A and B are shown apart, each in its own frame.
Chain A
Amino acid sequence: MKLALNAGDPWSAAAVYDIAAGPEKWQLEALMFGSRRNALMLARWEHTPAEVLQGLAASGEFALRMRLDRNAGTGALALSQLYRGERNAVLIGLIAQHRHTPEEVLEQIAEIDEDMAILKALSTNPAASERVLRTLAARMPGMFDSAIATHPATPPDMLETLYPASNAFIRAAIVSHAHCPVHVLERAAEEQDPTVLRHLAASTRIAPAVLVRLARSPDAAVRRAAAANPALAPALLLELVRDASSAVRRAVATRDDLPLAAIEALAADPDHWVRQWIARQPATPQRLLKRLAQEDNVEVRRAVARNPACPRALLKLLAADKSAWVRAAVAYQPRATATLLQTLAEDGDVDVLSGVASNPKSPQNILRRLAQSAEADVRRGVILNPSATRRTLQPLLQDPYYLHRLLLTGNAVLKDKDKWPLHDDPDDTVRFSAMRWFAGKQRQDLVTHKAS
């Protein structure tokens, strides 16, 4: 706290604000909120801690209130405070759609507000309760049907009431809703509208016979939805493997429960997207992977290289592929051996080197070399590598790219003394992040101390 105050740095002050108390807290507030420019900046910044935003909520200035209402980090208490006495419709609309707005405030808006824009914003807020939705539906029937049909809090009885009077889009949304009653699904099965049937075909709660019928629908979009439905019977899958629509076959190819016969048929599909999905399937036999690895299509070869079950011999072959995009996939492969990664570390392509840098199997001596790469993407790979040791990471604390230093402030391998110099980093966000890390540790120490 003293460092933040002595430096006169609003970012550091924001980072330590929640562990401050008494006169120090007031001094931090004076530093952060004393200048309008700083206050506006903190009210808008996406990383500003909720406690700091709470501290700003008492402001009467319009520009500040608008930023706080818009900031995703603003907490429930601040939003309640901001709502009290707010007369501006735009700002009330922002509060109505904020995910942290407390239920009682949302209910109050639903009950008393007349502004349609505000009520629409409220109806799409995922934090709105069942009571809010019922209030809106009762006050202005039909005005919020789309939002109600898609809202996660809508109860089954509301969906049931809504279904018969709605257009096909809303009925389709109701069919997709997790709370849709089974008898509404049964009713939907009698429909002819392709939009409703498409959504119905994706449901895992429909009767097997209905799913069979939908999987044989003349509409390719309906068959495609059925093809992706986890409840589809294996026999039907084999039928859809030969579907005339490539979109349907692609949906089949993405499934993780394909029988061998389906995999074999799809591996020879004329559509390369289908073959690509099959090349990624861990269940695809090695002989098929070997064939797919020899394709002209780069994406298919790359998919083989990305296959979690790709044999090491095939990875070795693909590591020498003429396309850097394929070699990069090998470099990222968790099954790649240290020897193979050592070979790839000599590659000149930045994507390949980034893969080697981020691969946990890469030896530390390789990572240390890549940490000195002129390419930021490669150095970032090392920073994100969970196997990178403290010694490997230490030089990267001096990385010229601020984002890399920012990433290292939260790294668990580095010790506090390694990170400490970042507290006066020239970059605002790095400084904030470093100070926040140390403030968090102090907070944790206080909790532990109190508990003991």
Chain B
Amino acid sequence: MKILVAVKQVAALDEDFEFRADELDVDEDFLLYDLNEWDDFSLEEAMRIKEASDSEVEVVVVSVGPDRVDESLRKCLAKGADRAIRVWDDAMEGSDSITVGRILAAVAKKESPDMFFAGVQSSDQANASTGISTAAYLEWPHAAVVAGLEYSPGAGKAVIRRELEGGTLQEVEIACPSVLTIQLGINKPRYASLRGIKQAAAKPIEEVSLDDIGLSPSDVGADCALSRVRRMYVPAKGRAAMIEGTPTEQAARLVEIIKEFKGE
């Protein structure tokens, strides 16, 4: 039994960032890279299924990206993932989230997992579409924003709870294999042990090329993308005012403002 977990190394903005000269993205020197927060929960969910199972469950993490992504994959290995796969080819540069879904689907076809987990969204791009597009390419059932999961390895169906508006949950039965996008808070992700980190440093990361998964350069990259970034910028600041004066004066003005907003 195998669970494939898609993970992404996301970029967080450092303060006082600058844009690249082409204005299409932030200058890489101002970016801090880390594992996507949602993916931490996806991996933990897979690990819990593995640890609760009597039969053997293999947890495989997969990511699309350049060499630097290895750091995030090693973090997953340190937390207990059995294998890590990184897919990259320079032709993938500029791929949008739908194209990344195509690449992940190609990996899934090769790996034949029983379940495919992804985070609801990535914190840097927030498209919330990679997991769902993977399901579309695989032609598998899918469920988004999964906040609860009951699944026994090898079972033909799973019961999930989806988080909806107003704090409501929707309980859904879904056929397996399926693609689930996992929501924050579904579990409490573990920290990697020092032993796990040391062991992960020695584990190999499988590097997969386009050819290995049956795709060609014409299937990926900017030319294939259904959307493209035209410009990235910080919008002009909206209405804001500094409240000046002594602390008492500031507090009094703040009370006035709150009262104005409350219509008192």
Contact = CB atoms under 8 A, between A and B. Distances in A.
Contacts of B197: 426
Interface in B211-264: 244-249, 252
A427 to B, nearest CB: 9
Contact of B190 (A169, A170, A400): A400
Interface in A70-85: 70
A420 interface: no
Closest 9 CB pairs of A and B: A169-B249, A400-B191, A173-B246, A37-B29, A400-B193, A426-B197, A146-B245, A169-B246, A146-B246
Interface in A378-420: 398, 400-402
Taking residues whose C-beta sits less than 8 angstroms from the other chain, chain A's interface range is 20 to 34
A66 interface: yes
Contacts of B192: 400
> Which among A150, A199, A425 has the highest number of chain B CB atoms within 10 Å?
A150
Nearest to B196: A400
B246 A149 contact: yes
Contacts of A149: 246
Nearest to B75: A426
A70 B16 CA distance: 11
A146 B197 CA distance: 54
Given A146-B249, A169-B245, A426 B194 contact: yes
Interface in A49-93: 63, 66-67, 70
Nearest to B200: A426
A98 B18 CA distance: 23
Nearest to B191: A400
Contacts, number: 56
A291 interface: no
A195 to B, nearest CB: 6
B194 A398 contact: yes
A63 to B, nearest CB: 6
A426 B199 CA distance: 12
Taking residues whose C-beta sits less than 8 angstroms from the other chain, chain B's interface range is 20 to 34
21 contacts: A40-B29, A40-B30, A41-B14, A44-B14, A63-B16, A63-B30, A70-B16, A169-B246, A169-B248, A169-B252, A170-B246, A170-B249, A173-B246, A195-B252, A376-B191, A398-B193, A400-B190, A400-B196, A402-B191, A425-B194, A426-B197
Contacts of A146: 244-246, 249
A150 B249 CA distance: 12
Interface string A91-103: 0000000000000
A36 interface: yes
Interface in A140-186: 146, 149-150, 167, 169-170, 172-173
Given A67-B15, A146-B249, A169-B245, 13 more contacts: A36-B29, A41-B14, A146-B244, A146-B245, A146-B246, A169-B248, A170-B245, A376-B191, A398-B193, A398-B195, A400-B196, A425-B194, A426-B194
Contacts of A44: 14-16
Binding site of A, secondary structure by majority: helix, strand, loop or mixed? helix
A63 B18 CA distance: 8
A235 to B, nearest CB: 30
A40 B15 CA distance: 10
Contact of A150 (B28, B193, B247, B252): B247
Nearest to B31: A37
A354 B191 CA distance: 19
A41 B33 CA distance: 12
Contact of A401 (B191, B195, B245): B191
Contact of A40 (B14, B191, B196, B249): B14
Interface in A227-256: none
Interface string A23-47: 0000000000000110011001000
A247 to B, nearest CB: 15
Contacts of B29: 36-37, 40
A376 B188 CA distance: 12
Interface string A276-308: 000000000000000000000000000000000
Contacts of B18: 63
Interface string B7-32: 00000001110100000000011100
Nearest to B18: A63
A93 to B, nearest CB: 13
Given A40-B29, A63-B18, A398-B195, A199 B248 contact: yes
A129 to B, nearest CB: 20
Interface in B167-219: 190-197
A41 to B, nearest CB: 8
B16 A67 contact: yes
A398 B197 CA distance: 11
> Which among A149, A169, A170 has the highest number of chain B CB atoms within 10 Å?
A169
A154 B30 CA distance: 41
Nearest to B197: A426
B238 to A, nearest CB: 19
B246 A150 contact: yes
A394 to B, nearest CB: 13
A167 to B, nearest CB: 8
Contacts of B247: 150, 173
Contacts of B244: 146
Contacts of B190: 400
Nearest to A404: B191
A195 B248 CA distance: 8
Contacts of A199: 248
Interface in B96-149: none
Contacts of B245: 146, 169-170
A112 B15 CA distance: 30
A400 B194 contact: yes
Contacts of A150: 246-247
Nearest to B16: A66
Interface in B34-74: none
Nearest to B253: A169
Nearest to A426: B197
A146 B252 CA distance: 14
Interface in A191-237: 195, 199
A172 B248 CA distance: 8
Nearest to A64: B16
A66 B194 CA distance: 36
A63 B192 CA distance: 34
A44 B193 CA distance: 29
Interface in A118-158: 146, 149-150
Nearest to B249: A169
